[in-house]
Amino acid sequence: MNFSIKTGNIVTLATPVLVLGLFDDGTLPPMTMTVDKATNKALSRIIKAGDIKGKIGDSLLLQKLDGCRAQRILLIGCGKAKELDAKKFSKIVKHTCKALQKHQLAAASGTLAALGIKDAGIERKAQLLAQNFVTCQYKYNTTKPKATKQFQVESVTLLLADGKDRAAAQRGLATGTAIGKGMNVARELGNLPGNVCTPTYLGKQALQLARKHKLLQTQVLGEAQMKRLGMHSLLSVGHGSPQSSALIVMKYQGAPASEKPRILVGKGITFDSGGISLKPGAGMDEMKFDMCGAASVIGVMHALCELKPRMNVIGVIASAENMPDGNATKPGDVVTSMSGQTIEILNTDAEGRLVLCDALTYIERFKPRTVIDIATLTGACITALGSVCSGMMSPDDKFANTLYQCGIDSLDPVWRLPLWEEYQEQLHSNFADIANIGGPKAGTVTAGCFLARFTKKYTWAHLDIAGTAWLQGAEKGSTGRPVPLLMEYLLKH
Ligand code: BES
Ligand code: MN
Ligand code: ZN
């Protein structure tokens, strides 16, 4: 889809549909007021008649009005003027996109970016507008070829009051478009079934992206290479599966090689049955989403390839399928990780940390500036935080605070949980350096504590996205989170 910017008189603008906001107390934002005046108060009369209230979610499509050149006007409820913030603005944009889709209007001119918002300037508004429009257009249909396709809004023109905002709005549109597309890539990979999206498939997607973009290089390490590197913890997870495990390394180089890279490490379990510690049957299909951390890394790499910022970022994906089988790892098995630390696998369903720990050791060679791992790691994180925010853990207060703020700014929030020494005792093993589970208490924290033992050589944070990566119920599907948070961090810090 295509975004553009215009300034000038909105009353004389030729457009198939002009989008105008209104507040729920009947007051009108400045641009809506301009049209109201030009149409001899036609809008005021319609609002007074009660045809639209102005609450967020309300919309009303009008035919051409005398005095305004637009073929149609779409009124969009914006709630209370005083309460209008970035979060509400995003909702308003989504409702606008849905209304345009419903009425099959492929080209629109909008005034929403000119709304006054307390916590967002023009660049952020344009970003959120593009991001929400792009993600609103996505609908899964890859394995539903006959389903009705989502109607596509093809072009949106932002009408700005002030020409001096043009450059910032343009930047925001570019960023938001790239993030939206990156989220859609992550969603598609997450939604694909486990028999399509295997570790090999993820590797192919990463290789394909690198073929299209000069700044990206991808390398896929197979099982033999990983064995030579001593990654026996990662490899142990795939032993029960006919699918080969893979370590996918995607290097985005937008700055001189001397600049230290920021590294993202994604959990890529393409199906998590639990292995010999088999999960219960109900809802097990959702464990196809256990590669959403990996999907978010690929989504970010897509966004970077589009925006081409001057920085170095390495995306690493630790991928395997966790299945029960005669060859599968058993509870009580001890494996040696690449770091040399031995691990007693007490529960084969705590497999995410087993693939991540070797990837986190592997990346030491890149001398990272910072490292973030992203994983659908624990059901306990859903119990603790629900689906509103992701769990975040880091031993580094400054880094944790930075990521917290990025979460707030990108509307993709995280909440910090502790990684204190006291929790480490729960990972004691009589038969290895460390056990892979820490008992029933504080499951999200002990998972983070496990990873902390492998990340001492660099600045690191862990994101548990078990509650945020996908939706359940009628809207079941991957969300594309935390691509917005990760992009915010990469672009602003
Ligand atoms: N992928 C799961 C975590 C998960 C479960 C995410 C449900 C989202 C929804 C992970 O591999 C897992 O099975 N974790 C176990 C850990 C336990 C065995 C210590 C869990 O959370 O039950
Ligand atoms: Mn598991
Ligand atoms: Zn898992």
pLDDT at site 261: 98
| Euclidean distance between CA atoms 288 and 250, whole angstroms | 22
**Alpha-carbon dihedral sign for residues 373, 379, 380, 382:** positive
Q: Specify burial of residue 281 (Cβ count, 10 A radius: 0-12, 13-18, 19+).
A: exposed
Beta carbon of 290 within 6 Å of any ligand 1 atom = yes
Protein residues with C-beta less than 5 angstroms from the ion ligand 2: 272, 349, 351
* DSSP label at residue 146: T
| Euclidean distance between CA atoms 353 and 142, whole angstroms | 31
| Euclidean distance between CA atoms 400 and 389, whole angstroms | 14
Ligand nearest to the CA of 268: 3
Q: Which helix (H) or strand (E) segment is 263 a member of?
A: strand 262-272
pLDDT at site 167: 98
User: What tokens does 372 get?
Assistant: 């973030």
Cβ atoms within 10 Å, residue 14: 9
What is the residue type of 462?
A: H
Please say whether the beta carbons of 186 and 296 come within 8 A.
Answer: yes
Complete edge-to-edge strand list for the sheet that includes strand 72-77? 2-7, 155-160, 107-110, 18-22, 72-77, 59-63
* pLDDT lower than 70: segments of the chain: none
pTM confidence score: 0.98
Complete edge-to-edge strand list for the sheet that includes strand 333-336? 333-336, 342-345, 434-435
- Domains in the chain, CATH or no CATH each: 2-144+152-162 (3.40.220.10), 181-492 (3.40.630.10)
User: For this structure, is 456 an active site residue?
Assistant: no
Q: Which residues contact 140 (CB under 8 A, 6 or more apart)?
A: 187, 188, 191, 477
Atom of ligand 1 minimally distant from the CA of 351: 11
Q: Which of 222, 388, 189, 410 is nearest to 301 (CA)?
A: 189
The residue to mutate among 329, 348, 378, having the most atoms of ligand 1 within 8 angstroms of its beta carbon, is 378
Alpha-carbon distances of 285 from 70, 143, 295, rounded to whole Å: 48, 15, 17
Which one is catalytic: 124, 125, 288, 353?
A: 353
Q: Which of 465, 458, 471, 456 is nearest to 486 (CA)?
A: 465
| Euclidean distance between CA atoms 103 and 108, whole angstroms | 11
User: For this structure, is 45 an active site residue?
Assistant: no
pLDDT at site 235: 99
| Euclidean distance between CA atoms 287 and 290, whole angstroms | 5
Q: Spell out a b/e string for 133-159, using b for 16 or more CB atoms within 10 Å of the CB, else e.
A: bbbbbbbbeeeeeeeeeebebeebbbb
* DSSP label at residue 231: -
Ligand nearest to the CA of 376: 1
pLDDT at site 386: 98
pLDDT at site 239: 98
